[in-house]
């Protein structure tokens, strides 16, 4: 069976994509500090799949099937990095295209658990819960339980929670100042 005719495989292209993503893809929730958001912590869900630049046809096929996202060099500033990456960050595309695709074609590995957690964060964000302290704390806990329990994260969850507490204190102090003025 040729690689060009994936439809002949049991399960077709959907099974092929799921298997490929199982090995080369990731569902992640980036948490970063930001002065541009009310609580000072921004949540960025991302689905991405990487592949050597000489085999980007697989990434192009995934992009075509999902109907969203973009393909770019993985690290254009590093001449030694010869990988390309397919990325989806747009929340409506994640909610309406990526999540349904993988719900219909689930993983058989532990990646399924990360996908389920990713899906929960997408649902919470769709409800606007990332804009509340309580919802943001819930999302942080989910995000830090994903992808090997967050061992590769640069920021400790406790540092973010502390920042969340201090930003709330600053907001309360500013509100008190405004009220008394």
Angle of CA points 79, 84, 88, to nearest 5°: 135
Residue 155 has pLDDT above 80, yes or no: no
For each of the domains in the chain, give its residue range(s) and CATH number, in order of start: 6-180 (3.10.28.10)
* Number of CB atoms found within 10 A of residue 44's CB: 13
Residue 47 has pLDDT above 90, yes or no: yes
Mean pLDDT across the stretch 3-25? 76
Report whether 50 contacts 85 (CB < 8 A). Answer: yes
φ, ψ dihedrals at 2, nearest 5°: -85, 155
Residue 181 has pLDDT above 90, yes or no: no
């Amino acid at each position: 069976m040729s690689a060009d005719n994936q439809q002949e495989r049991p399960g077709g292209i959907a099974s092929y994509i799921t298997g490929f993503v199982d090995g080369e893809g990731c569902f992640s929730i980036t948490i970063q500090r930001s002065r541009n958001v009310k609580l000072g912590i921004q949540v960025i869900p991302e689905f991405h799949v990487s592949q050597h630049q000489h085999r980007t046809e697989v990434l192009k096929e995934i992009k075509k099937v999902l109907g969203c996202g973009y393909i770019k060099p993985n690290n254009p500033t590093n001449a030694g990095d010869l990988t390309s990456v397919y990325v989806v960050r747009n929340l409506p595309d994640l909610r309406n295209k990526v999540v349904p695709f993988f719900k219909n074609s689930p993983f058989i590995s532990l990646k399924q658990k990360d996908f389920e957690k990713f899906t929960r964060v997408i649902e919470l964000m769709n409800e606007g819960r990332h804009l509340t302290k309580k919802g943001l704390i819930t999302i942080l806990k989910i995000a830090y339980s994903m992808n090997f329990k967050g061992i590769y994260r640069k920021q400790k969850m406790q540092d973010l929670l502390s920042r969340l507490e201090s930003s709330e204190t600053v907001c309360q102090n500013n509100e008190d100042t405004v009220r008394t003025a």
